[in-house]
Protein backbone atom coordinates (compact mmCIF):
# COMPACT_ATOMS: atom_id res chain seq x y z
CA UNK A 1 0.00 0.00 0.00
CA UNK A 2 1.52 3.37 -0.97
CA UNK A 3 2.56 5.70 1.80
CA UNK A 4 1.15 9.26 2.09
CA UNK A 5 2.67 11.68 -0.43
CA UNK A 6 5.67 13.93 0.11
CA UNK A 7 4.34 17.50 0.13
CA UNK A 8 6.47 20.18 -1.57
CA UNK A 9 6.11 23.90 -0.86
CA UNK A 10 7.29 26.22 -3.67
CA UNK A 11 7.44 30.01 -3.98
CA UNK A 12 4.04 31.32 -5.22
CA UNK A 13 5.50 32.41 -8.56
CA UNK A 14 6.62 28.82 -9.33
CA UNK A 15 3.56 26.79 -8.24
CA UNK A 16 1.83 26.92 -11.63
CA UNK A 17 4.99 26.74 -13.74
CA UNK A 18 5.90 23.89 -16.07
CA UNK A 19 9.15 23.43 -14.13
CA UNK A 20 7.19 22.59 -10.97
CA UNK A 21 5.77 19.55 -12.77
CA UNK A 22 9.30 18.54 -13.83
CA UNK A 23 10.31 18.66 -10.15
CA UNK A 24 7.27 16.58 -9.04
CA UNK A 25 7.92 13.87 -11.65
CA UNK A 26 11.59 13.58 -10.66
CA UNK A 27 10.73 13.49 -6.95
CA UNK A 28 8.03 10.83 -7.44
CA UNK A 29 10.50 8.70 -9.41
CA UNK A 30 13.11 8.95 -6.64
CA UNK A 31 10.88 8.40 -3.58
CA UNK A 32 10.08 4.81 -2.56
CA UNK A 33 6.43 3.64 -2.27
CA UNK A 34 4.78 6.98 -2.79
CA UNK A 35 4.59 10.17 -4.78
CA UNK A 36 5.27 13.89 -4.46
CA UNK A 37 2.59 16.61 -4.57
CA UNK A 38 2.38 20.35 -4.23
CA UNK A 39 1.26 21.60 -0.82
CA UNK A 40 -1.98 23.17 -2.12
CA UNK A 41 -3.10 19.87 -3.70
CA UNK A 42 -3.05 17.70 -0.54
CA UNK A 43 -4.75 18.35 2.80
CA UNK A 44 -4.00 15.14 4.72
CA UNK A 45 -1.06 14.20 6.93
CA UNK A 46 1.99 14.11 4.63
CA UNK A 47 4.82 11.64 4.72
CA UNK A 48 7.33 14.50 4.67
CA UNK A 49 7.39 18.22 3.90
CA UNK A 50 9.99 19.77 1.57
CA UNK A 51 10.37 23.55 1.32
CA UNK A 52 12.19 24.74 -1.84
CA UNK A 53 13.50 28.27 -2.27
CA UNK A 54 15.54 29.74 -5.14
CA UNK A 55 18.01 32.60 -5.38
CA UNK A 56 20.25 34.13 -8.01
CA UNK A 57 17.88 33.67 -10.96
CA UNK A 58 17.44 29.94 -10.25
CA UNK A 59 21.20 29.36 -9.90
CA UNK A 60 21.05 28.30 -6.22
CA UNK A 61 18.44 26.11 -4.56
CA UNK A 62 17.84 25.53 -0.86
CA UNK A 63 15.91 22.43 0.24
CA UNK A 64 14.54 22.04 3.78
CA UNK A 65 13.06 18.61 4.50
CA UNK A 66 11.01 17.74 7.57
CA UNK A 67 9.94 14.22 8.48
CA UNK A 68 8.07 13.11 11.57
CA UNK A 69 9.40 9.91 13.16
CA UNK A 70 8.76 10.07 16.91
CA UNK A 71 9.82 13.73 16.84
CA UNK A 72 10.02 16.20 13.97
CA UNK A 73 13.39 16.22 12.26
CA UNK A 74 14.60 18.77 9.72
CA UNK A 75 17.54 18.60 7.41
CA UNK A 76 18.83 21.04 4.79
CA UNK A 77 20.59 20.68 1.44
CA UNK A 78 21.89 23.46 -0.85
CA UNK A 79 22.49 23.09 -4.58
CA UNK A 80 24.37 25.47 -6.88
CA UNK A 81 24.14 25.28 -10.67
CA UNK A 82 26.36 26.51 -13.49
CA UNK A 83 25.05 29.14 -15.92
CA UNK A 84 25.20 26.53 -18.71
CA UNK A 85 22.88 24.09 -16.89
CA UNK A 86 19.39 23.96 -18.52
CA UNK A 87 16.61 25.25 -16.28
CA UNK A 88 14.62 22.02 -16.57
CA UNK A 89 17.63 19.98 -15.44
CA UNK A 90 17.99 22.22 -12.38
CA UNK A 91 14.40 21.57 -11.33
CA UNK A 92 14.78 17.86 -12.05
CA UNK A 93 17.92 17.72 -9.87
CA UNK A 94 16.04 19.37 -6.99
CA UNK A 95 13.26 16.76 -7.28
CA UNK A 96 15.75 13.88 -7.26
CA UNK A 97 17.52 15.29 -4.21
CA UNK A 98 14.21 15.61 -2.32
CA UNK A 99 13.42 11.96 -3.03
CA UNK A 100 16.88 10.89 -1.88
CA UNK A 101 16.61 12.96 1.32
CA UNK A 102 13.28 11.34 2.18
CA UNK A 103 14.86 7.88 1.85
CA UNK A 104 17.86 8.86 3.98
CA UNK A 105 15.71 10.40 6.71
CA UNK A 106 13.37 7.40 6.89
CA UNK A 107 16.28 4.97 6.97
CA UNK A 108 17.88 6.83 9.88
CA UNK A 109 14.59 6.92 11.80
CA UNK A 110 14.21 3.13 11.81
CA UNK A 111 14.98 1.62 15.24
CA UNK A 112 18.28 -0.19 15.40
CA UNK A 113 18.24 -3.83 16.58
CA UNK A 114 19.45 -4.26 20.16
CA UNK A 115 22.96 -5.49 20.63
CA UNK A 116 23.24 -9.07 21.88
CA UNK A 117 24.19 -9.39 25.52
CA UNK A 118 27.89 -10.20 25.88
CA UNK A 119 28.74 -13.64 27.09
CA UNK A 120 30.13 -13.69 30.58
CA UNK A 121 33.84 -14.50 30.40
CA UNK A 122 35.27 -17.46 32.20
CA UNK A 123 36.98 -16.52 35.45
CA UNK A 124 40.68 -15.93 35.06
CA UNK A 125 43.08 -17.78 37.34
CA UNK A 126 44.55 -15.61 40.05
CA UNK A 127 48.33 -15.43 39.59
CA UNK A 128 50.56 -16.12 42.50
CA UNK A 129 51.86 -12.97 44.16
CA UNK A 130 55.34 -11.92 43.13
CA UNK A 131 57.79 -10.08 45.29
CA UNK A 132 57.47 -6.34 44.87
CA UNK A 133 60.33 -4.69 43.04
CA UNK A 134 61.45 -1.14 43.32
CA UNK A 135 59.70 0.80 40.52
CA UNK A 136 61.89 2.45 37.94
CA UNK A 137 61.74 6.24 37.85
CA UNK A 138 59.57 7.62 35.02
CA UNK A 139 61.43 8.93 31.97
CA UNK A 140 61.99 12.67 31.88
CA UNK A 141 59.40 14.66 29.89
CA UNK A 142 60.38 15.69 26.35
CA UNK A 143 61.76 19.21 25.95
CA UNK A 144 59.14 21.93 25.52
CA UNK A 145 58.61 23.15 21.94
CA UNK A 146 58.81 26.82 20.97
CA UNK A 147 55.85 28.91 22.16
CA UNK A 148 56.53 31.99 19.96
CA UNK A 149 57.92 31.26 16.51
CA UNK A 150 58.58 32.58 12.99
CA UNK A 151 57.39 30.71 9.86
CA UNK A 152 58.81 31.06 6.33
CA UNK A 153 58.26 28.86 3.29
CA UNK A 154 57.22 28.37 -0.31
CA UNK A 155 53.63 27.94 -1.57
CA UNK A 156 52.50 26.39 -4.87
CA UNK A 157 49.05 25.72 -6.29
CA UNK A 158 46.71 26.23 -9.27
CA UNK A 159 46.29 29.82 -10.46
CA UNK A 160 43.40 29.99 -12.89
CA UNK A 161 41.00 27.22 -13.85
CA UNK A 162 43.62 26.05 -16.37
CA UNK A 163 47.20 26.86 -17.24
CA UNK A 164 50.36 27.24 -15.22
CA UNK A 165 50.38 27.17 -11.43
CA UNK A 166 51.14 30.10 -9.18
CA UNK A 167 54.33 30.11 -7.11
CA UNK A 168 55.32 32.25 -4.17
CA UNK A 169 56.39 32.57 -0.58
CA UNK A 170 54.82 33.01 2.82
CA UNK A 171 56.03 34.42 6.14
CA UNK A 172 54.29 34.68 9.45
CA UNK A 173 54.32 34.70 13.22
CA UNK A 174 52.75 32.12 15.49
CA UNK A 175 52.11 31.38 19.12
CA UNK A 176 51.31 28.22 21.05
CA UNK A 177 49.71 27.66 24.44
CA UNK A 178 49.59 23.94 25.10
CA UNK A 179 47.91 22.37 22.05
CA UNK A 180 46.30 25.65 20.88
CA UNK A 181 47.91 27.50 17.93
CA UNK A 182 47.45 31.09 16.75
CA UNK A 183 48.94 32.01 13.33
CA UNK A 184 49.26 35.32 11.45
CA UNK A 185 50.59 34.86 7.90
CA UNK A 186 51.16 36.93 4.77
CA UNK A 187 52.00 35.66 1.31
CA UNK A 188 52.78 36.77 -2.24
CA UNK A 189 52.41 34.61 -5.36
CA UNK A 190 52.69 35.07 -9.11
CA UNK A 191 51.95 32.95 -12.15
CA UNK A 192 54.86 32.95 -14.65
CA UNK A 193 53.62 33.82 -18.14
CA UNK A 194 54.95 34.40 -21.63
CA UNK A 195 55.36 38.01 -22.74
CA UNK A 196 52.10 37.93 -24.69
CA UNK A 197 49.98 36.59 -21.80
CA UNK A 198 48.23 38.11 -18.82
CA UNK A 199 50.42 38.30 -15.71
CA UNK A 200 48.71 37.49 -12.40
CA UNK A 201 49.82 38.38 -8.88
CA UNK A 202 48.23 37.38 -5.56
CA UNK A 203 48.82 39.05 -2.19
CA UNK A 204 46.98 37.82 0.88
CA UNK A 205 46.92 37.84 4.65
CA UNK A 206 45.37 35.34 7.02
CA UNK A 207 44.64 34.95 10.72
CA UNK A 208 44.10 31.41 11.94
CA UNK A 209 43.72 29.20 14.98
CA UNK A 210 43.92 25.47 15.49
CA UNK A 211 45.43 22.60 17.42
CA UNK A 212 48.85 20.92 17.54
CA UNK A 213 49.23 17.24 18.43
CA UNK A 214 52.72 16.16 19.48
CA UNK A 215 52.82 12.59 18.19
CA UNK A 216 56.43 11.95 19.30
CA UNK A 217 59.02 14.20 20.96
CA UNK A 218 60.26 15.20 17.48
CA UNK A 219 57.16 15.03 15.28
CA UNK A 220 53.85 16.90 15.49
CA UNK A 221 50.66 17.28 13.45
CA UNK A 222 48.55 20.43 13.28
CA UNK A 223 45.21 21.50 11.83
CA UNK A 224 44.27 25.19 11.56
CA UNK A 225 41.39 27.27 10.16
CA UNK A 226 42.08 30.78 8.80
CA UNK A 227 40.16 33.89 7.83
CA UNK A 228 41.65 35.12 4.52
CA UNK A 229 41.75 38.43 2.65
CA UNK A 230 43.24 38.07 -0.85
CA UNK A 231 44.01 40.65 -3.56
CA UNK A 232 44.46 39.44 -7.14
CA UNK A 233 45.99 41.73 -9.78
CA UNK A 234 46.04 41.09 -13.52
CA UNK A 235 48.16 43.06 -16.00
CA UNK A 236 49.27 42.87 -19.62
CA UNK A 237 52.51 44.39 -20.88
CA UNK A 238 51.85 44.21 -24.62
CA UNK A 239 50.30 47.41 -26.07
CA UNK A 240 47.74 48.48 -25.21
CA UNK A 241 48.87 47.90 -21.62
CA UNK A 242 46.29 47.52 -18.88
CA UNK A 243 45.92 46.28 -15.29
CA UNK A 244 43.18 45.72 -12.73
CA UNK A 245 42.81 44.24 -9.26
CA UNK A 246 40.13 43.18 -6.77
CA UNK A 247 39.81 41.89 -3.22
CA UNK A 248 38.12 38.68 -2.14
CA UNK A 249 37.51 37.26 1.33
CA UNK A 250 36.97 33.76 2.65
CA UNK A 251 38.42 30.93 4.70
CA UNK A 252 41.26 28.43 4.53
CA UNK A 253 41.81 25.01 6.13
CA UNK A 254 45.42 23.83 6.53
CA UNK A 255 46.91 20.55 7.68
CA UNK A 256 50.63 20.09 8.29
CA UNK A 257 53.31 17.90 9.81
CA UNK A 258 56.42 19.26 11.54
CA UNK A 259 59.74 17.46 12.02
CA UNK A 260 61.49 19.13 14.97
CA UNK A 261 65.26 19.17 14.50
CA UNK A 262 65.55 20.89 17.88
CA UNK A 263 62.85 22.18 20.28
CA UNK A 264 63.27 25.58 18.55
CA UNK A 265 63.60 24.59 14.87
CA UNK A 266 61.44 22.43 12.60
CA UNK A 267 60.83 21.59 8.96
CA UNK A 268 57.11 21.99 8.21
CA UNK A 269 55.09 20.83 5.17
CA UNK A 270 51.41 20.46 4.43
CA UNK A 271 48.40 21.06 2.22
CA UNK A 272 45.56 23.58 2.25
CA UNK A 273 42.14 24.28 0.77
CA UNK A 274 40.82 27.85 0.30
CA UNK A 275 37.24 28.99 -0.29
CA UNK A 276 36.59 32.65 -1.24
CA UNK A 277 33.29 34.48 -1.54
CA UNK A 278 33.58 34.68 -5.33
CA UNK A 279 35.87 33.93 -8.26
CA UNK A 280 37.56 36.49 -10.53
CA UNK A 281 36.96 36.67 -14.28
CA UNK A 282 39.97 37.86 -16.34
CA UNK A 283 39.06 39.74 -19.54
CA UNK A 284 41.21 41.54 -22.12
CA UNK A 285 39.45 43.87 -24.57
CA UNK A 286 36.09 42.36 -23.57
CA UNK A 287 37.41 38.83 -24.27
CA UNK A 288 37.41 36.33 -21.38
CA UNK A 289 40.92 34.81 -21.07
CA UNK A 290 40.48 32.88 -17.83
CA UNK A 291 39.00 32.68 -14.38
CA UNK A 292 40.45 32.53 -10.88
CA UNK A 293 38.08 30.06 -9.17
CA UNK A 294 36.67 30.71 -5.67
CA UNK A 295 37.75 27.23 -4.52
CA UNK A 296 41.44 26.40 -4.64
CA UNK A 297 44.10 24.24 -3.03
CA UNK A 298 47.83 24.34 -2.57
CA UNK A 299 50.96 22.73 -1.15
CA UNK A 300 53.52 24.45 1.02
CA UNK A 301 56.78 23.69 2.83
CA UNK A 302 59.12 25.74 4.96
CA UNK A 303 60.84 26.17 8.29
CA UNK A 304 59.68 27.16 11.77
CA UNK A 305 62.15 28.94 14.06
CA UNK A 306 61.44 29.50 17.73
CA UNK A 307 61.82 32.99 19.18
CA UNK A 308 60.91 32.09 22.80
- Tens-digit pLDDT profile for residues 77-95: 999 999 999 989 999 999 9
Domain count, the chain: 2
**Structural domain includes residue 131:** no
Q: What pLDDT sits at residue 135?
A: 82
Does residue 95 sit in the same domain as residue 155?
no
**Structural domain includes residue 276:** yes
Q: What pLDDT sits at residue 42?
A: 84
Does residue 90 sit in the same domain as residue 163?
no
Distances 290 to 140, 160, 167, 279, 284 between C-alpha atoms, Å: 58, 6, 18, 11, 10
Residue 134 has pLDDT above 80, yes or no: no
| Banded model confidence at residue 110, pLDDT cuts 50, 70, 90 | confident
**Structural domain includes residue 176:** yes
CA nearest 202: which of 238, 239, 240, 250? 250
Residue where one domain finishes, among candidates 81, 109, 137:
109
Residue where one domain finishes, among candidates 58, 87, 109:
109
- Indicate which CATH number applies to the domain containing 34: 3.30.160
Mean pLDDT of 56-84: 83
Q: With contact defined as beta carbons under 8 Å apart, do 202 and 166 qualify?
A: yes
| Banded model confidence at residue 103, pLDDT cuts 50, 70, 90 | confident
- The residue with greater pLDDT, 173 or 290, is 173
**Structural domain includes residue 95:** yes
> Parallel, antiparallel, or unpaired: how do β-strands 71-80 and 180-191 relate?
unpaired
Q: What is the pTM of this model?
A: 0.53
Does residue 160 sit in the same domain as residue 100?
no
CA nearest 184: which of 203, 207, 152? 207
Q: How far is Cα 34 from Cα 32, in angstroms, rounded to an integer?
A: 6
**Structural domain includes residue 273:** yes
**Structural domain includes residue 132:** no
> How many angstroms separate the first and last alpha carbons of the chain?
73
Counting runs of H as helices and runs of E as strands, what totals does the chain give?
Answer: 2, 15
- DSSP three-state, residue 19: helix
Does residue 90 sit in the same domain as residue 155?
no
Residue 194 has pLDDT above 70, yes or no: no
What does the mean pLDDT of the chain come to?
A: 87
Domain encompassing residue 52? 6-109
What digits encode the pLDDT tens for the residues 232-241? 998 887 777 7
Does residue 165 sit in the same domain as residue 261?
yes
Q: How far is Cα 39 from Cα 29, in angstroms, rounded to an integer?
A: 18
**Structural domain includes residue 187:** yes
Residue 21, phi then psi, degrees to nearest 5: -70, -35
Does residue 54 sit in the same domain as residue 176?
no
Does residue 262 sit in the same domain as residue 164?
yes
Q: How far is Cα 102 from Cα 32, in angstroms, rounded to an integer?
A: 9
Residue 71 has pLDDT above 60, yes or no: no
Q: How far is Cα 10 from Cα 18, in angstroms, rounded to an integer?
A: 13
Residue where one domain finishes, among candidates 109, 133, 168:
109
- How large a percentage of the chain has pLDDT more than 90? 47
Q: What pLDDT sits at residue 117?
A: 66
Does residue 14 sit in the same domain as residue 163?
no
**Structural domain includes residue 137:** no
Q: What pLDDT sits at residue 191?
A: 85
Does residue 182 sit in the same domain as residue 302?
yes
Does residue 98 sit in the same domain as residue 155?
no
Q: How far is Cα 171 from Cα 187, in angstroms, rounded to an integer?
A: 6
Does residue 103 sit in the same domain as residue 162?
no
Residue 120 has pLDDT above 70, yes or no: no
Mean pLDDT of 9-27: 90
Amino acid sequence: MPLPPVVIELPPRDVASEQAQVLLRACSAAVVDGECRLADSYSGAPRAVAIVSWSGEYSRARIELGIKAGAARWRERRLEFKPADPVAERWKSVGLVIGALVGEAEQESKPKPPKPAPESPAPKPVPAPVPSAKPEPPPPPPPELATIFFDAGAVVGPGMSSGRWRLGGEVGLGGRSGPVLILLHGRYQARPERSDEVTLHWASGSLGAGVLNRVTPWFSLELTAHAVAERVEASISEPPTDSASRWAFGGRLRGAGALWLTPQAAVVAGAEATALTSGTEITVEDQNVGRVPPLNWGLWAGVRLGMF
